Structure 1
């Protein structure tokens, strides 16, 4: 009971920090096994044990690796392990126990983070759509009249001030999606340069083909690589048609969802000029 409380307490701490983790629990055990039904442990997305144990050894090591894979997939799973190394069938582990264990890997995925560099009308519509889709949203702008709770309700972080300097301080990881839509495109190039080498899952910048070409040429002259620039979705969005802020926002969020789920779709950036 005490061990369960420690696992759950640590889980709550991780969820409060918006971290991806998994609880691995023995739900069925037959024959000789390291631990019994109900034993559990909490692991992070790198397979580190944060709390608890299911018995150590080969089983625990394999379960940690499997948990990492399912955390990446953002899905839970039930897995059966055969602990008889001489067995010819099943998910066999090199153990002498001779029993069988079923583990349930329950994944708790962090919320994806959406960073909006710019608080214009398009960003306003994007934020509302992204909130419905469950993203944790950060909006950066230097205009106090645009950056407020009335225009951006349900947004976790409204960061007022120099967009480029503040963007350097924002935590960006592999679950981060970045949209660059600064007022009048004034800070687009500088913002892109800041995030270009980050681990963001998606970097999109609004603009016409001519504007994109000019921006890319400028960054290439400043030592950015073609490989880095090839990751940028610009012109941004899917080829859905329409030109209102709502329609542009829909196009951008549809592209982000497609990237998130690995779907082939008609990206506008594929029609840009080569650089």
Structure 2
């Protein structure tokens, strides 16, 4: 060892070992502890008697800056601030394959379905741009602010559509798991604290169905500070206008408020709480499917099963499922 760097074996000793043992495993190229590397012209150093070359890379660098995870990135004039994506990992792997086209590729530590799909494409040297990261997003999360009768039907409908649902209300008799049996999270808290329980995902949908103007206004102010795929607020045109006017007086941008779906839901002349819930979820589906490709169920998103992942990458005519729809076929 010299400064913690492993040196090559003495040439005569290596030749002696070749005669005495069945397998000699040699690390031919290090990367200073980084998951990715651009090799110099003299790298890797491959012994002339080598039978098989295994090129090992990792998903650890995905989503991080080039300068933090790519050793010798300067050799390819890579932007040090660039965020590493699947295409860049494949570019670096192919840089090695130009020199050793028969090398076997192994991608270590893929996490989640998207990384597993990327790893498979890289290992089989198939262009990773044939898939898009957006296809691998989970279904949107749904936040219900207010736990009355409409919310109860929205929760049931959202469950059928595989939404992850969070219910928030300030009344114990409504905000409980005995009523919202299908919701993943139920909180009985003051609406002023509601944002502490909001999800981090940008594609979250917010439905404001509280019992009064005051609570609507509080909730809407909380939600407007979030990145959201959909914001809807129940109420008559008069009730909605009163809330919006109050927020404009407080300095809120009118163009921002116009993005709120209020009155909420598609205009299908719904009357009962169940019909109103259908109109709300129909509008959410309309917005969701306009802005994102993913229709992935939570079971598929979290699966650790092995199998063949089938993805629709293009479609023609009236095929019922869109681009990005996928199915995992197991044994």
Structure 1-normalised TM-score? 0.61
Determine if contact 1:120/1:146 at 8 Å carries over to the other structure: yes
- After superposition, what is the alpha-carbon deviation per residue over 1:52-110, rounded to whole angstroms, capped at 9, x for unaligned? x999967x999954679xxxxxxxxxxx98x99xxxxxxxx9x9938693145696433
Q: SS at the partner of 1:102?
A: coil
Determine if contact 1:172/1:200 at 8 Å carries over to the other structure: no
How many Å separate the matches in 1 of 2:192 and 2:87? 37
Corresponding residue to 1:204 among 232, 236, 244 = 232
How many Å separate the matches in 1 of 2:97 and 2:60? 25
- CA-based RMSD of the aligned residues comes to 3.8
Aligned: 1:138 with 2:166: yes
How many Å separate the matches in 1 of 2:83 and 2:253? 39
Aligned to 1:154: 182
Aligned: 1:189 with 2:189: no
Offset, 1:256: 0.6
Aligned: 1:48 with 2:48: no
How many Å separate the matches in 1 of 2:71 and 2:159? 41
Higher-Rg structure is 2
Offset, 1:183: 1.7
Change (3 A) 1:115 1:129: same
Offset, 1:232: 0.7
Offset, 1:126: 0.5
**Superposed counterparts of 1:21-170, under 5 Å:** 41=59, 47-48=63-64, 64-65=84-85, 97=98, 101-103=125-127, 108-170=136-198
Q: SS at the partner of 1:138?
A: strand
Change (3 A) 1:232 1:260: same
Determine if contact 1:116/1:179 at 8 Å carries over to the other structure: yes
**Superposed counterparts of 1:7-22, under 5 Å:** none
Q: SS at the partner of 2:166?
A: strand
Change (3 A) 1:41 1:168: closer
Greater percentage in strand: 1
Determine if contact 1:43/1:67 at 8 Å carries over to the other structure: no
Q: SS at the partner of 1:147?
A: coil
How many Å separate the matches in 2 of 1:207 and 1:230? 15
